[in-house]
Amino acid sequence: MQTAATKTTMPVPPRRHMKEMVAFLQASPFLLPALLLFTVFFFYPIVKVVYLSLYLTNSKGVAKHFVGMQQYVELFTSPDFIQSLRVTLEFVLLTVIPGVFIALLLALLLEKQIRGLSVFQTILFSPISMSVAAVSTIGLMAFNPSVSLLNWILSNLFGIPNINWLNGPWTALLAISIVTIWMNLGFSTIVLLGALRNVSQELYDSARVDGVNALQRLYYITLPSISPTLFFVFVVSMIGSFQTFGQVNILTQGGPAGSTNLVVYSIYRNAFFNFQYGLASAQAVVLFLIVLVLTLLQFLVVERRVHYS
Amino acid sequence: MERNQNASRRPWIRKTAMWTVAASFGLTALLAGCGGGNTGSDENAAGGGGGANNGVIELKLWHAMGGVPGQALQHIVDDFNKSQSKIHVTAVYQGQYDDEFNKWKATQGQGGKDGPNIMQVYDIGTKFMIDSQDIVPMQDFIDQSHFDISQLEPNILGYYSVGGKLYSMPFNSSQPVLYYNKDMFKDAGIAEPPKTYDDVLADAKKLTKKGPDGKVAVYGIGLATYGWFFEQMLATQGADYVDHDNGRTGTATQAVFNGPEGLKIVNWWKSLYDAGVDLNLGPVTSQTQNAFLAGKCAMIIDSSGVYGNLVKGAKGKFEVGIGPLPRPAGATGGTIIGGGSLWITKDQPKAQQDAAWEFVKFAASPQEQAYWTETTGYFPITKAVYDDPGFKDWLKQYPDFQVAVDQLHSSKLTYATQGGLMGVFPQARQTVQDMLQAVLLGKQQPQPALDDAAKKVTDAIKNYNLTVA
């Protein structure tokens, strides 16, 4: 037995090779459908995007003129693209942190069992069932400079002068952030609420026995217990914010003067408006790398603090 | 304990789901109600298509006419369908010009199936359409059936002729004019609409009113940062937008709008804004139209094609007046005839192309054009309309429109007023709009902003030319 074992470890014996091969062959028919889908909808587009980013294209998206890395150089020397990146980061900060925070607050409130709660739950969750277009159209009405209900409320109840929301550089980004937070709030809240309801009651019970106050309860029991979900919501919101498009397209078209020109919108603009698929592809590659790095960072840094039971 | 809680939790889920569904139904109904004014019925909502059915040739017409013009276009299509029994045209509203044009680009080369048989394209899409080679030049049909184009308005022909050939049939032609609120002008003691840049600034100051709280309640002017206005204002000074005589004697290779004429426009625009008399609502003109109709500004600049919309919207509130497009004192150029034209796509059977030509001819006929102008405020493309007795009566009823007609007829045809020709015009217009916003918001000074914009457009032209050849 022992001799056999030493024999098998050093040079890999042909029999184990065979075993692995057989296992692989057995597994591959099961993997094939998924692989095929991934190839068609994921790997092929990625390769194609990288390929197109090296070319100038005509209006039908056919690569016409090889330019190598020129479009990447152009991007990083273009003040427009730098602004676009900066605005996107600002937007992510403006939406993700307040969005998750508000969702957590609401979920904590909704977890309590009070009479008439279902009405509030319905109101909060209803944006989930609406499309980006509908939400943005409501935003368009709310922020309309001529007939804005929001401005009317602000000026009549709080004495804040009329704000030309969508035409000031900061207020436009703020307006889009508000719409985005509102739109995503229902989803984040419902996911967090689900997590809250799964926190073990025994932990709470024993905490009560130990005479723990509400804040301590929240900090030492609730938050650690829901941290995997909190982390999930955080990552998903961040990726979603990076990919924001519809709100910008309907509310501001990237204006005024590029102050809401988020990267994905500018990709759309270059690809389907200016028909520079090459440049748009280069932008897409850059965005992909940024999101990849940020997500990896989150997994490396934040996940350490996440508690999986 | 655990089970008990679960049981007590479940009912709210069901209730919440029910309420959510009910609420979203309610909202959808509400939004659908607000979204009225869309042209076309449900059957028109389908995308492209077209083909023969029971011997009737079905055609799809894609257009970008909303509101009053949309209804008027539907009326022309209905007239056509009633006038004969062999061809049936369905008009499909595809959103604003840009949206419609971009949808076309996405379905390019599929004319008969997913795309349109007849396509309305804005003026600045002309060069792109020709370069795409996915259309049949209108000149082919004109030559074939000996259609007399001498009856067409010369300025309009001037814009759409490229190399002596008509590639599309002009349809909705317009020029920007100054609309003003006659009641506000009377209150401010101003007798005439302003004609020069200085007049506009002076009048706008008089018209701007502050409320009791010190905030501006009425702005003198609401100037949309729409690139089309900038193009027109260049032409009134006789300046070109791109090189090679505005792309008319050769392929454009460079943007040249950053000269002293361009600077004059931007400086004036900024002076209005800095004086606090210009309401800046971004580049979308429907926003300034709404503000004008709501009495938030006393003047706007917009296409003559929205005259019908404005008169209708202002009914019972105030009287709408028209003045010529303002220009710097002493400028002697003219305005460019803008708007849209009809194109016949290539990827469809010959029988459908011929059927499409029948519709195009019908839409260009004096009778339909008279109706079109009277309802919308777009110019008639044929001169015959001006002799039409019904049209003369209409002009008497709306004498202000004569200002627009005079502006068109007094514009001499030069390279500047013929309008620039390049494949990336939509992008160039967008670039100019961003430039205007950057200047107004104080992010950039006028001359550097203009130079930057011109460089961006030049780069885009160079890339485009590389991919077309």
Give A85-138 pLDDT, tens digit per residue: 999 999 999 999 999 999 999 998 888 777 777 888 888 788 788 888 888 888
Q: What is the residue-averaged pLDDT of chain A?
A: 85
Residues A143 and A137: their CA atoms lie apart, in Å, by: 10
**Residues B161 and B221 grouped into a single domain:** no
* Domain-embedded: residue B352: yes
Residues A146-172 have a mean pLDDT of 78
Of B257, B166, B245, B225, the C-alpha closest to B421 is B245
Contacts of B420 (CB under 8 A, 6+ apart): B124, B231, B240, B241, B242, B246, B247, B252
Chain A: residue nearest B281 by CA?
A167
**Residues B347 and B441 grouped into a single domain:** no
**Which B-chain residues 377-416 have CB contacts (< 8 A) with chain A?**
none
Minimal C-alpha gap between A146 and chain B (Å): 6
* Domain-embedded: residue B290: yes
**Which B-chain residues 14-53 have CB contacts (< 8 A) with chain A?**
15-16, 19-21, 23-24, 27-28, 31
* Domain-embedded: residue B403: no
Best of B218, B463, B466 to mutate (most A CBs within 10 Å, chain A): B463
* Domain-embedded: residue B129: yes
**Residues B125 and B192 grouped into a single domain:** no
Residues A75 and A52: their CA atoms lie apart, in Å, by: 15
Chain B: residue nearest A164 by CA?
B281
Helix axes A149-157, A132-142, angle to 10 degrees: 40
Predicted TM-score of the model (pTM)? 0.80
Give B240-279 pLDDT, tens digit per residue: 999 999 999 989 999 999 999 999 999 999 999 999 999 9
Helix, strand, or coil (residue B302) = strand
**Which B-chain residues 286-325 have CB contacts (< 8 A) with chain A?**
287, 290-291, 294, 296
Residues B278 and B218: their CA atoms lie apart, in Å, by: 10
How many separate domains does chain B show? 2
* Cα distances (Å, whole numbers) of residue B465 to A57, A65, A303, B48, B252: 11, 11, 50, 30, 9
* Cα distances (Å, whole numbers) of residue B72 to A17, A266, B91, B375, B377: 77, 35, 11, 7, 11
Using pLDDT thresholds of 50, 70 and 90, give the confidence band for residue B355: very high
Minimal C-alpha gap between B435 and chain A (Å): 7
Give B280-295 pLDDT, tens digit per residue: 988 888 889 999 999 9
Q: Is residue B4 less than 8 Å (CB to CB) from chain A?
A: no
Q: Is residue A125 less than 8 Å (CB to CB) from chain B?
A: yes
Residues B195 and B198: their CA atoms lie apart, in Å, by: 8
Best of A126, A248, A270 to mutate (most B CBs within 10 Å, chain B): A126
Q: Which of A9-23, A156-170, A246-260 has the highest mean pLDDT?
A: A246-260
**Residues B185 and B262 grouped into a single domain:** yes
Which residues of A are less than 8 Å from B440 in CB distance?
A: 256
Tokens in use for B43?
């059957």
Q: Return the pLDDT at B42.
A: 35
Of B239, B232, B233, the C-alpha closest to B259 is B239
Q: Is residue B106 less than 8 Å (CB to CB) from chain A?
A: yes
**Residues B186 and B292 grouped into a single domain:** yes
pLDDT of residue B376 exceeding 90: no
Taking the alpha carbons of B45, B111, B97, B84 in that order, is the dihedral positive or negative?
negative
Are the C-beta atoms of residues A75 and A217 closer than 8 Å to each other?
A: no
Largest Cα separation within chain B, whole Å, is: 91
**Residues B77 and B196 grouped into a single domain:** no
Residues B286 and A134: their CA atoms lie apart, in Å, by: 19
* Domain-embedded: residue B257: yes
Instruction: Answer yes or no: do A129 and B281 touch at CB < 8 A.
Output: no
Give B98-125 pLDDT, tens digit per residue: 888 888 877 765 544 678 999 999 988 8
**Residues B212 and B297 grouped into a single domain:** yes
Q: What is the residue-averaged pLDDT of chain B?
A: 85
CATH number of the domain where residue B185 is located: 3.40.190.10
**Residues B150 and B162 grouped into a single domain:** yes
Instruction: Answer yes or no: do A273 and B427 touch at CB < 8 A.
Output: yes
**Residues B221 and B360 grouped into a single domain:** no
Q: Return the pLDDT at B132.
A: 83
Residues B83 and B359: their CA atoms lie apart, in Å, by: 11
* Domain-embedded: residue B437: yes
* Domain-embedded: residue B25: no
* Domain-embedded: residue B269: yes
Ordered by start, the domain boundaries in chain A are 2-52, 75-305
pLDDT of residue B28 exceeding 80: no
Q: Is residue B443 less than 8 Å (CB to CB) from chain A?
A: yes
**Residues B233 and B122 grouped into a single domain:** no
pLDDT of residue B143 exceeding 50: yes
Q: Which CATH architecture has domain A75-305?
A: Orthogonal Bundle (1.10)
A19, A22, A28, A30 alpha-carbon torsion, rounded to 10°? -90
Which residues of A are less than 8 Å from B16 in CB distance?
A: 118, 121-122, 125
Using pLDDT thresholds of 50, 70 and 90, give the confidence band for residue B49: very low
Tokens in use for A227?
């941290």
> Domain span at residue B463?
176-335+417-468
Are the C-beta atoms of residues B247 and B421 closer than 8 Å to each other?
A: yes
* Helix, strand, coil share of chain B (percent; to 5): 55, 15, 30
Tokens in use for B337?
């005839």
Residues B368-397 have a mean pLDDT of 89
